Amino acid sequence: MPSFLLDTLLDEDTSEELAQRLREQGHDVERVVDVEELGDGVDDSDVHHYAEKHNRVIITHDEGFFNRCINSEGTFRLLWITDQQAFDPYEKAEMVKNALELIEEYDIMESPPRAIALTAQFLE
């Protein structure tokens, strides 16, 4: 169990199985496709605004979303799973769990990243 939990918003390109695995870790999970004011096919800017308004960390496979977020101002708000096909939902949930160790150190980092790319290194 991670030492702290995330309020997450899973982008429309993520699976229900990943959502379930993250819930099993104790995270509060919403999926874009299940949020009435968002839904399937919603624009990334609407997803971003919703996440900001509800203080949620976005989890996505969308590289464009990652690039947009990493170049913006503010605090950490996005985890990008870099290769949607290479990892199963269990591995993706493990990547999120392992990334939390890095996130916990943000308070001592001078300028923490706004987004983190989750690669195979987060499975080691």
pLDDT digits (tens, 9 = 90+) for 53-89: 998 889 998 888 788 777 776 665 788 888 877 888 9
Q: What is the residue-averaged pLDDT of the chain?
A: 82
Rounded to whole angstroms, the Cα distance separating 66 from 15 reads 18
For residue 116, list its beta bridge partners: 79
Per domain, the residue ranges of the chain are 7-123
Rounded to whole angstroms, the Cα distance separating 91 from 83 reads 11
- Is residue 43 pLDDT above 50, yes or no? yes
Q: Where do the H-state alpha helices sit in the chain?
A: 16-24, 44-53, 63-70, 89-103
What architecture (CATH level 2) is domain 7-123?
A: 3-Layer(aba) Sandwich (3.40)
pTM of the model: 0.85
Look at residue 24 in the predicted model and tell me its pLDDT: 92
Helix pair 16-24, 89-103: axis angle to 10 deg? 50
